Amino acid sequence: DQQVKQNSPSLSVQEGRISILNCDYTNSMFDYFLWYKKYPAEGPTFLISISSIKDKNEDGRFTVFLNKSAKHLSLHIVPSQPGDSAVYFCAASDPGTASKLTFGTGTRLQVTL
């Protein structure tokens, strides 16, 4: 049973618009969440994270929102750029096994001109 779910396998957004990638989780013990980005033929690279004591974390064009009651987080990219086209993975960990990341299946973002 998947504890981290990314229900949209793909998303297409026009350059300059907002991209919103969603992630749901089922394990209420998760208290730390991360987003990774992956280009073809490369490994995932860390993008942004959020602790459960916050509901928002911002880093430049990237903002992650956490709704603990809904067990939902989202990644907003504003404005979207063609170089943002990649697969985005949501991941989570709990305090007991902090080094063990549980990943979602990923969402492929395509930013079009």
Partner 1 sequence: ETGVTQTPRHLVMGMTNKKSLKCEQHLGHNAMYWYKQSAKKPLELMFVYSLEERVENNSVPSRFSPECPNSSHLFLHLHTLQPEDSALYLCASSQGLGRNEQFFGPGTRLTVL
- Judged by beta carbon, residue 42 or residue 70, the one nearer partner 1 is 42
Q: Please list every residue from 33 through 52 that binds partner 1, using CB under 8 A.
A: 36, 41-46, 49
Euclidean distance between the first and the last CA atom of the chain, given in angstroms as a whole number: 38
Q: Tokens in use for 81?
A: 């750029």
Q: What are the C-alpha distances in Å from 95 to residues 12, 27, 50, 74? A: 35, 12, 14, 21
* Whole-number Å distance between alpha carbons of 23 and 12: 17
Question: Could you say whether residue 2 binds partner 1 (CB under 8 A)?
Answer: yes
Q: Which is nearer to partner 1, 52 or 74 (CB)?
A: 52
| Residue selected from 32, 61, 68, 79 as contacting partner 1 according to rule CB under 8 A | 32
**Separation between Cα atoms, residue 45 and residue 86, nearest integer Å:** 11
> Should residue 60 be labelled a site residue for partner 1 when binding is judged by CB under 8 A?
no
Residues that bind partner 1 (CB under 8 A): 2, 4, 32, 36, 41-46, 49, 89, 91, 93, 97-106
